[in-house]
A and B are shown apart, each in its own frame.
Chain A
């Protein structure tokens, strides 16, 4: 029996998914241990093993691939538990990490910028300067490097981040500093900015570099320990580590560039969505939603490809720290199941961004929480049944939920149910507005795409969210509760090589650009050749360039229509592709305008043998009602609502709303006018009637 295993280690829980050779997925959930990844894996694996009737060791021994995703790096940064790191930068510019790129959200609130990622007293200025043409303006004073290294050593720095101005055009000085570090502090890990992230704009590059270096000691020991533990437990397959790029790498690669593990967990949800969309949806344009307790994560898939961004900030756009690396674009909205409903001084009903968190949690948890949350509203409306939750293991409190909602109902002059329903409407609208902003900024009309929804609380309102967006189809996978871990299960080995080389498409330097592309291609080939022992069924390379219209401020990534340019047609196909992409995203094109090309890239992809989805039993299409209960729907008051249990329904089953479907890790509300269908693979597709899009009625 061959298994494939994937693991997503979050701050609190470790999700583990085991695929058997028939493609069926089995989920385990255990508590995370901060220092030792294997503890959670072992416990989760034991659950799956007992379900399958085999030993955990047996599963490990027969697993071919284990893909591991973790929030370890992200949490270490947030909790400021990374290594004491020295920052080496060009003399005169010690403040790059403090100044950032300016900007501030909420301009009328005086919120000071948080401290720089590396403080000034661990910053050393190196006497050197390269100019914007890549020429040496001031030669490297090696003495200044030696002095900096000695001082950094004296104050106990465990890693060094090196980011010099214009090193992307001429890396000579950074490379030499690397040599000197190796000579003088041979055991100290370091990162050179041009190697990690060769982008123009010094703050982004410096921030990536600082984050990367600061994670090296920690991630090295963490990953090494994990691998040792796994080997000791009998695992002999390939260990791969998930990256923020939506793929996975060998442990040695992530240890060399640990900044790529930041945000790797959430980046896997879109990977899962791509896979589910292929099997269960007819469109390959998808909005991926993953609901947690405090946030609602949104990702996008267009034309079957995941959207990427270079704007990932830890601690908030502009004021936090940018990772600066190209990664799967997942945006978090402060609207989770625990978000709190409140009244503003003008008497308006608001929801979030404050959340009840896990402790005390929503009122219905019965742990002393009194603030009305989104899930309290769902309890009041009869969507969530406390007795059913977590198999009835916790004593959950409907009365507490009602009294919490009462605190907003009274000043609004509404019944408790009306207030609960209004809170859901506002929460839905917040999410809808944010999704619209995200999709429209990418040139995507939400009415033309489907939604894939994950996370335990997503099924409560996703039907309403879809209706408000004008989106007709929602896929809720049976494994919605562990969407990221499922993504890791289907992920490929993906990496990207890039080179900064400025070129204009007028008088396009075909030969030079081809040299750049050849070099990138060779590096990608080398990476792919190293994967021979994994024996990927398919490898491929994709070339792209970050380009912009003449004198435009920002670049757009464009897939190259060719691997090499020829003298004859030059860059005309590239220009054409750019016009089309620019028009798709921004609705305007500048016909006749030439392009400025900045960063050339080659993405190397090795497809892994991922488990085929397992079809479920074909039934007669009849739905078996488990029981009945009252549920409140806007405009209908309380109505008798049938409830179904997920595992019991054969494929093709159709359920018309109002109805409620229960799964061990999620609950799906089928609103009136909507239909839920069980797919051939046991997932659920909601069909939304968007013609009756809810008009919030007048009072």
Chain B
């Protein structure tokens, strides 16, 4: 029995609809304000969120365009501020917090919270959360992959006051901004966010003036009840049951090679959905760990994807019950474990797992795994200017989303961590950094093969020009736990950066590293993975494969190898190709007969053929399930074993 049933709504449907829209409008106005006045381009790229919270700190409404990764965490930080300052919150106060151990995400995500007073009575809190470009720590951008404790990651801000009864506390702000490599930028962002919360205050007070305080606060409660009721209704219509899956982080350097499991069990019972992550691995020796807030966020955002028209607030969270299991795991890390990389690590694994679980419940919305969030940071001194200013080239890519039931995955789209994330104009980047982008293009063959192909990723290459004291760091994952297919679909390709030193050979740096020295003339390039495929690629319509070849999404060679489709070139300039249907039938029969055997071939001999150049990385990943250190060609036996088991689970039963 849900909480909302039997509870009378006191607002009539028209007033209620008007107020609900007014709350949405209020948080969306906060967003517009932030977009236009922020200093950090990361915030401008839409890595921010806005919320109205009630007296308990619960979320009344969250911005409709907010980045997924902040969803389900804003009520925790509101509650943390309320706890810390209970009985001492006054008109004109403004607070800040970024503490991931109190339900925040990572240190860069700084939340500014303003109480909204009617007379001397507080009725709500406005919260603006933005990703600041740098909050200190050992590397520019505050993303130290190798951090084990948060002390290396950046400044931890517990609940603090920034304005005291309208008085700006310079000393506190100086204390914060002095711990950043970009002090004036973050102070600019702080003011932009504080102003956004003021706009929310102004809007709510306007509503209070018009409708009366009681109606507005009743609306705060009822809009949460409404969302809860709506969500529970939808869940109740679904069959009860329990589904389980697991996804992996590449490895734990404290242990050695071997995929690190994150286990998600979902149970639908009546009008409630429960998630159990208690079987997950202990926290890893990098910063790819999640605190409870960000793990909860992954669960909420993953679930929300299957209820796209339900507004987001704490009412939605009430219909979801979560057991993260014991403290100290990769999904429930505690102080002082490093957690900044949660977004590339557990977060996306939780979301993709949840997508897969819901694919069982709502097969029409089924989707395979998508590419992994990735950030490449190059920071140092820009010697193009006489004063050699500090620069930070902070780059992320779009990539491919998983193939869907009945439709190919989206090409070149922002990560599931935040699908609204912007693509940075390179003309915006280049003036500020001595990095010239040399290529930014769709990567052929990056989409995981399937009856419905995974979306394509992109390749981005660059060269460092006039710079000194420069280092490069990369926050990603899935060089080994490669984006997977479902229902017989195949994986995409490994993430990872290739560095070619001036006059040197390409060197594979992997998908997580930090503080690699780079110098003038060094080139680096990386792909973003595509999505995993949906369904057996041998069932894909040969005409769709032909179209992919004409679009340069699939090469002629891989059309043959991955799809068994024989395509012949007529005129490349005119993009004209033809199909050999008989040849296709023969090739498909051959693959069908052999492929299960490939997964059982001796892994070391497969690795040897890779080193000899007779097999390439896509052959290994898609057909042999063999994972190597892609630079040295060394076999990773434990990783390969788990990866093959994964293919046997996700692909083979559907072939």
Contact = CB atoms under 8 A, between A and B. Distances in A.
Contacts of B66: 107
Interface in B273-329: 301, 304-305, 307-308
Contacts of A628: none
Interface in A659-699: 693, 695-699
23 contacts: A93-B440, A94-B441, A99-B412, A102-B422, A103-B420, A109-B308, A113-B412, A129-B436, A131-B436, A165-B426, A165-B427, A200-B425, A201-B425, A412-B13, A429-B18, A433-B25, A437-B32, A441-B32, A441-B33, A441-B36, A551-B184, A552-B38, A586-B37
B106 interface: no
A8 B251 CA distance: 65
Given A101-B422, A137-B436, 15 more contacts: A93-B440, A93-B441, A99-B412, A102-B420, A105-B420, A108-B304, A113-B410, A113-B412, A200-B428, A426-B17, A440-B199, A552-B188, A587-B198, A696-B12, A698-B15
Given A112-B410, A345-B230, A437-B28, A103 B46 contact: yes
B379 to A, nearest CB: 15
Most chain A Cβ neighbours within 10 Å, of B36, B404, B421, B427: B427
A131 B427 CA distance: 9
Contact of A348 (B13, B28, B412, B424): B13
Contact of A425 (B18, B65, B401): B18
Nearest to B433: A132
Contacts of A112: 407, 410-411, 413, 455
A436 interface: yes
Interface of B: 11-18, 20-22, 25, 28-29, 32-33, 35-41, 43-46, 64-68, 184-185, 188, 191-192, 195, 198-199, 210-211, 226, 229-230, 233-234, 301, 304-305, 307-308, 367, 384, 398, 401, 404, 407, 410-414, 418-428, 430-431, 436-442, 455, 458, 461, 465, 550-552, 573-575
A693 B18 CA distance: 14
Given A92-B440, A131-B436, A202-B427, A110 B188 contact: no
B235 to A, nearest CB: 13
Most chain A Cβ neighbours within 10 Å, of B12, B184, B233, B411: B12
B185 A551 contact: yes
Contacts of A121: 550-551, 575
B553 to A, nearest CB: 9
A120 B552 CA distance: 9
Interface in A426-473: 426, 429-430, 433, 436-437, 440-441
B440 A104 contact: no
Interface in A348-377: 348-350
A481 to B, nearest CB: 30
Given A93-B440, A106-B308, A586-B195, A426 B32 contact: no
Nearest to A429: B18
A426 B18 contact: yes
A107 B67 contact: yes
A422 B15 CA distance: 10
A552 B39 contact: yes
Given A551-B184, A586-B33, A588-B37, A107 B401 contact: no
Given A103-B421, A554-B35, A587-B198, A696 B14 contact: yes
A202 B412 CA distance: 17
Contact of B210 (A92, A204, A554, A693): A693
A630 interface: no
Interface in A577-621: 585-588, 590
Interface of A: 92-95, 98-110, 112-113, 120-121, 129, 131-133, 137, 151, 154-155, 165-166, 200-204, 345-350, 412, 422, 425-426, 429-430, 433, 436-437, 440-441, 502, 549-554, 585-588, 590, 693, 695-699
A108 B311 CA distance: 11
B65 A107 contact: yes
A107 B440 contact: no
B587 to A, nearest CB: 26
Nearest to B66: A107
B414 A102 contact: yes
Contacts, number: 205
A552 B40 CA distance: 7
Contacts of B455: 112
A550 B14 CA distance: 46
Contacts of A350: 17
Contact of B305 (A108, A155, A204, A345): A108
Nearest to B68: A107
A42 B447 CA distance: 56
A450 B329 CA distance: 60
B398 A699 contact: no
8 closest cross-chain pairs (CB), A and B: A102-B423, A553-B44, A132-B430, A92-B439, A201-B425, A699-B12, A102-B422, A132-B431
A165 B424 CA distance: 14
Contact of A92 (B198, B229, B438): B438
Contacts of A101: 422-425
A155 B458 contact: no
Nearest to B46: A103
Contact of B15 (A106, A120, A696): A696
A550 B401 CA distance: 37
Contacts of B552: 120
Contact of A588 (B14, B25, B68, B195): B195
Contacts of A590: 188, 191
A472 B492 CA distance: 61
A441 B44 CA distance: 16
Contacts of B234: 345
A295 B551 CA distance: 36
Contacts of A697: 12
Contacts of A129: 436
Contact of B18 (A204, A346, A588, A696): A696
A110 B441 contact: no
Given A95-B412, A165-B427, A437-B29, A349 B17 contact: yes
Contacts of B40: 553
Nearest to A412: B13
A98 B442 contact: yes
Given A101-B422, A104-B420, A433-B21, A347 B39 contact: no
Contact of A347 (B13, B64, B424): B13
A56 to B, nearest CB: 49
B420 to A, nearest CB: 5
B78 to A, nearest CB: 22
A150 B458 CA distance: 28
Nearest to A201: B425
Most chain B Cβ neighbours within 10 Å, of A110, A203, A502: A110
Nearest to A698: B12
Contacts of A204: 425
A594 B330 CA distance: 46
B418 A107 contact: yes
Contact of B29 (A110, A200, A426, A441): A441
Given A95-B442, A166-B427, A696-B12, A437 B25 contact: yes
B458 A95 contact: yes
A3 B234 CA distance: 64
Contact of B39 (A345, A346, A440, A553): A553
A151 B404 contact: no
B452 to A, nearest CB: 12
Contacts of B67: 107
Contacts of B11: 698
B531 to A, nearest CB: 11
A425 B431 CA distance: 51
Nearest to A587: B195
B427 A551 contact: no
Contacts of A104: 413-414, 419-420
A133 B384 contact: yes
Contacts of A155: 573-574
B255 to A, nearest CB: 36
